[in-house]
Amino acid sequence: MEKLFTITALVFFGSSILNVILNTIKSIVTVKGSTHVAAIMNAITFGFYTIVVKMIADVDLVISVPLTMIANLIGVYIAKGILNLVKKDKLWRISCTVSKKKKIDSETFREYFKKYNIEYTIIPINDYKDGYLIDIFSNSQGESALIKEIITKNNIKYTVIEIEKSL
C-alpha cells in the first residue's frame, strides 16, 4: 500500500489522468473538428503518451494497472466536463406533431414559450387528425432544457435538427 503513495506513483497517476483527458478530447475533436485541429491533437497525445509509457517502467505492474484504470474513469469525466464548458451554443429546431387526441391546447404552448421568450411557430394540419405542427427554435442549452421539459411532460414525439448554416 505504501508503494501506492510514492512520488513516482503519484506523478504517474497525474500523468495518466492528463493522458486520458487529452486522448478523450482528441477522439471527440477527430470526429467533430477540422482535420488541422485533429492532427495537432493527435501529435500532442502521442507525444505525451510516450512520456507515460516511459514512466510505466518505473512503477510496479500491481500499482500501474489499478492507477491506469482509475485514471481512465476520472479522466473521461474531466474531459467531457471541459468540453461541455467550452461548447458553443447552437441553433436547434425542435419539431413536434400533435394530434387533437392529445387534448393539448396550443395556447398552453404559446403561454409557456412566451413566458421564456422562446421562438416558435404553430401550424394547423388538417390532414393529421386536425392536429398541429410546432416548430420551436432553441438558441441555448438552457432553452433546450425548458423546451424538453414541456414536450416530455405532455408526452409529445419530437425531432431535433441542428441548424448549421445560414444564408
Tell how strand 158-163 and strand 119-125 pair up.
unpaired
| Cα 145 to Cα 29: distance, rounded to the nearest angstrom | 25
Domain that holds residue 138: 91-163
> Last residue of a domain, which of 36, 71, 86?
86
Please tell me which of 39-48, 50-59, 158-167 the model is most confident about, judged by mean pLDDT. Answer: 39-48
| Cα 150 to Cα 152: distance, rounded to the nearest angstrom | 6
Distances (CA, A) of 147 to 10, 80, 125, 138, 151: 45, 24, 21, 8, 6
Cα first-last separation, the chain: 63
Q: Are 98 and 116 part of one and the same domain? A: yes
| Cα 79 to Cα 24: distance, rounded to the nearest angstrom | 6
| Residue-level pLDDT at 140 | 82
Q: Are 67 and 32 part of one and the same domain? A: yes
Q: Are 80 and 119 part of one and the same domain? A: no
> Last residue of a domain, which of 64, 86, 108?
86
Q: Look at 128 and 155; give whichever has higher pLDDT.
A: 155
| CATH code of 104's domain | 3.30.70.120
* Residue 156 contacts residue 149 (beta carbons within 8 Å): no
> Last residue of a domain, which of 63, 86, 109?
86
Residue 162 cell numbers, joined: 441542428
What pTM value is reported for the model?
Answer: 0.58
| Cα 98 to Cα 137: distance, rounded to the nearest angstrom | 17
Q: Are 65 and 36 part of one and the same domain? A: yes
Q: Look at 93 and 33; give whichever has higher pLDDT.
A: 93
